[in-house]
Structure 1
């Protein structure tokens, strides 16, 4: 059914089929149940999503119950709650809700292999729709046959099968299925393509389905190559301090754009708009900033840095123990303390064991070096060239004396004596992420 190098985490003798009651999923469920004994599968679950969008939704669920009872398998139904927001696509709302529900059902029932009934025509239609939207390689790659997401394998075993083969199987087995009345609604792009465009396209080019599906496979190979190249480049370009812009500029235009796109996806968790990529490639200059999903991008000392938008006001003051080496996450501050042993300048280990962490309140002073005068935090940041977006980090105090200020470092008045065990202290404004995460 499906193979992958990703280790199985659930019972391999249990699989699930996304079952709408329509022709394709009915055929897949019946075929899976029939082949289960020879595939050493003990249980096949049917996962049904009740979208609540059609007046026939209850009748479809009842039909699915009868089908599963006849097959001797279990139907699990999830009811989507809510409704599309004003201006939101009904298709997108239903798709996102369905995907989230199926993933939750897999986790709840200990399933890590979910079968989907998409076929070759679906793949060809996806490529056409993505092309008409001006999609890049990721969109043109269509749907993967196997995809692991959060420990679940989403498998499409019939993705290379023509629609006609499934229709023939349904007729041969005498399978009963429902017809979704929304399939005739031309307001939806895929329906318009199926009803108005595909018949003429198929008449003029009988091989269209197979050729477009093959083109999607070539695009997926190109996408995998892009991802591998991005991962290779970001090993040397990306780090906790941001993206090395000089190293990025040394790459070819296509390779630099590919690495930048992958890095942005790793930071924000979403594909970067082409307009943002173009701006970053043409507008990079010292101390510039650009808005993006979830925060802002900043050029800072030759690196591109992502600063996440604070989800909530800073938490109240708290006691922290940084007296041992390692990373000490501060989720409320969207960052991490990095503590490491040092023979250079640092803070005494005993002093780091009992610290107070809090936000700026006003009146704090900072001394950059033993020979300099203490200045207000604002003036100290200005003199050190700390940009405004890095000045809102946490402060550490010991006995009422400032020990560390984010963006500035250790206050000289708190430096350990030469014979005292000490630690270096760094504040990473954004928690470290993997250099690249495939979308």
Structure 2
């Protein structure tokens, strides 16, 4: 806990006692400060120039000062409105009046990915705040979000079809990119903050006038439409809707936490570590759960692999295929840069889009342009092959390829084209690579990424299987081994 001393509430004016509103706001701030880690030296407050964040900076400044904490003011210049330069000057003016260090960052809001201007601006804002925080050695930022913001967030998420884990609203403390964001006023209505600013703002920051963002009531934006049309209509019939929706958000968060615990227990029971795919889901065990719990497990499994949630329709399609497809039927669901695949009784995440040197298409019958030819071995321990994304290793073995024969001609590395055969032992017949890979339990999609080493037309080595017993051998000899930059093939049976 940080220093638990309770600073006296600011009492601007002619010596009168502070109002209950002011006391409530400062008390909420003290609660946030009490929860800070011990030994903290500095934190920041994000100020847009509007009344809510301005009031937060005004009241946080004396609280931080009495606790011996350095408070910084951060401003993000979005450049989305003609008045953006004025807002930056106003935020800087407030910092100056409060005697606080000020920093601002200009951002470019990119909407090319279809997120919409509000979502894109939010992403740019948090990225800029994180950059300023790292530059100032700050790890905690105060935000002026209040009860009305929380209600709007909950309604927007409901209208966009979010589930329980998405409608819980904003958290009082959240972490993003290593920065803790503190929202001490989430239970305080906007009207109380603005009333306090009118009563005490002139004493806390003389001559300071907060700005008003015209987009707040612009019906072209989702929040503007809520504030301008929807919420006033709701308030006429349900004046207590703010508290009701705030309570709903809290209960939804609690319910989502319980469901997450259930999903975590189920995932622990159905997943196993299968290198190099990390944790894979055993399909037979997954299908033993109810459909609702299967969905929860799949969502958590994808999240733990750092992936965003696919749409409900795509998750349902994956479950449908798992339930109806035969055990030996491959299932592929492309999501972001990965493929979700089934191999035998495993559901695996194949990061095909993240690999270098992967075979990206069917090369059977092509001209071999992707092959690496003219590799001459002169005794090196390994040779890097960029075209195939890996290293071919040459190591000594009690018995292996005759080193003199291996030096006698250039090697080439090629992808499989089909119908190749390998003789794995002197007393065994040659067999198709397809059958050998199947016996090793290497999935078909991984087989296509395992290169072959030739000398002329002679297949010398097949990655994942070994050398051909027909090539000249000696004691001692050379053993070949292929090490991919991002290893994929494995035995999962």
Task: Give the TM-score taking structure 2 as reference length.
Answer: 0.70
Distance (whole Å) between structure 1 residues aligned to residue 433 and residue 34 of structure 2 = 54
Q: Establish whether residue 223 from structure 1 lines up as the match of residue 251 from structure 2.
A: no
Give 5+ residue unaligned stretches, structure 2: 1-30, 203-208, 359-370, 391-395, 401-410, 471-478
Q: Which residue of 2 aligns with 1:181?
A: 214
In structure 1, C-alpha distance between the alignment counterparts of 2:110 and 2:150, rounded to whole Å = 28
Please give the alpha-carbon distance, in whole angstroms, between the structure 1 residues aligned to 2:469 and 2:348: 30
CA contact (8 A) 1:395 1:402 kept: no
Post-superposition Cα deviations, 1:219-249, rounded to whole Å, max 9, x if no partner, equal: 1112222222222222232233521111111
The question of whether the paired residues in 2 share the 8 Å contact of 1:290 and 1:296 is answered with yes
How far apart, CA to CA, are the structure 2 residues paired with 1:193 and 1:314?
50
Work out whether 1:19 is the aligned partner of 2:42.
no
Q: What is the CA–CA distance in structure 2 between the aligned matches of 1:143 and 1:196, rounded to whole Å? A: 23
In the TM superposition, residue 67 of structure 1 has moved relative to its aligned partner by: 0.8
Q: 2:346 aligns with which of 303, 318, 321?
A: 303
Q: How does 1:327-346 map to 2 (within 5 A)?
A: none
Query: Are positions 1:118 and 2:118 aligned together?
Result: no
Q: Distance in 1 between matches of 2:437 and 2:319?
A: 29
* Map of 1:325 onto structure 2: none
Question: Could you tell me how far apart the structure 2 residues matched to 1:31 and 1:430 are?
Answer: 56
CA pair 221-81 structure 1, distance change in 2 beyond 3 A? same
Check 1:382–1:68 CA distance in 2 against 1; reply closer, same or farther (3 A cut): same
Look up the match of 1:276.
314
The within-5 A match list for 1:19-168 is 19-41=47-69, 43-81=70-108, 83-85=110-112, 87-168=114-195
Q: 1:80 Cα shift?
A: 0.6
Structure 1 gaps of 5+ residues are: 323-330, 336-346, 415-421, 433-439
Is residue 295–residue 306 contact of structure 1 (8 Å, CA) maintained in 2?
yes
> Quick one: which of 438, 449, 460 aligns to 1:393?
449
Deviation at 1:84, TM superposition (A): 2.5
1:259 alignment partner, one of 267, 275, 297: 297
In the TM superposition, residue 381 of structure 1 has moved relative to its aligned partner by 4.0
Could you tell me which residue of structure 2 aligns to residue 339 of structure 1?
Answer: none
Q: What's the offset of the Cα at 1:123?
A: 0.9
Worse overlay, 237-246 or 182-191: 237-246
Relative to structure 1, is the Cα distance of residues 104 and 306 closer, same or farther in structure 2, using a 3 angstrom cutoff? same
Q: Tell me how far 1:154 sits from its aligned partner.
A: 1.5
What is residue 417 of structure 1 aligned with on the other side?
A: none
- Deviation string 1:162-209 (CA, Å, 9 cap, x unpaired) is 222211221122352111122231111111011101112112111100
In the other structure, the counterpart of 1:208 is 241
Q: CA separation in 1, counterparts of 2:34 and 2:263?
A: 22
Deviation at 1:333, TM superposition (A): 8.8
1:352-371 alignment to 2 at 5 Å? 360=415, 366-367=422-423, 371=427
Give the Cα–Cα distance (whole angstroms) in 2 for the partners of residues 305 and 357 of structure 1.
32
1:373 aligns with 2:429: yes
Q: Aligned-residue CA RMSD in angstroms?
A: 4.3
In the aligned structure 2, how far is the partner of 1:188 from the partner of 1:38? Answer: 41
Task: Note the C-alpha offset of 1:266.
Answer: 2.5
Q: How does 1:225-244 map to 2 (within 5 A)?
A: 225-238=258-271, 239-240=273-274, 241=277, 242-244=280-282
Measured against aligned partners, the alpha-carbon deviations of 1:127-171 in whole angstroms (never above 9, x if no partner) come to 111111111012211111112334321111111112222112211
Q: Which moved more, 1:233-242 or 1:366-375?
A: 366-375
Shift of 1:276: 1.4
TM-score by length of 1: 0.78
| 1:245 to 2:301 alignment | no
Query: Per the alignment, in what secondary structure is the counterpart of residue 54 of structure 1?
Result: coil
Secondary structure (helix, strand or coil) at the match of 1:206 reads: coil
Mapped to 2, the partners of 1:92 and 1:297 lie a distance apart of 28
CA distance in 1 between counterparts of 2:48 and 2:398 reads 61
Residue 114 of structure 1: SS of its match in structure 2?
strand
- Distance, in Å, in 1 between the alignment partners of 2:264 and 2:412 is 36
* Distance change (3 Å), C-alpha of 1:362 and 1:19: same
- Which has more radius of gyration? 2
Deviations 1:320-357 (A, max 9, x none): 989xxxxxxxx99999xxxxxxxxxxx96999xxxx99
Count of matched residue positions in the alignment of Structure 1 and Structure 2: 405
262 and 18 in structure 1: CA distance in 2 versus 1, 3 angstrom threshold: same
Between the aligned partners of 1:401 and 1:269, the Cα distance in structure 2 is: 40
- Distance, in Å, in 1 between the alignment partners of 2:188 and 2:316 is 39
Q: Is the 8 A contact 1:369 1:411 kept in 2?
A: no
What is the rounded CA distance, in whole Å, between the counterparts of 2:331 and 2:231 in structure 1? 48
Distance 1:333 1:249, change over 3 A: farther
Is this contact kept in 1: 2:174–2:182, CA < 8 A?
Answer: yes
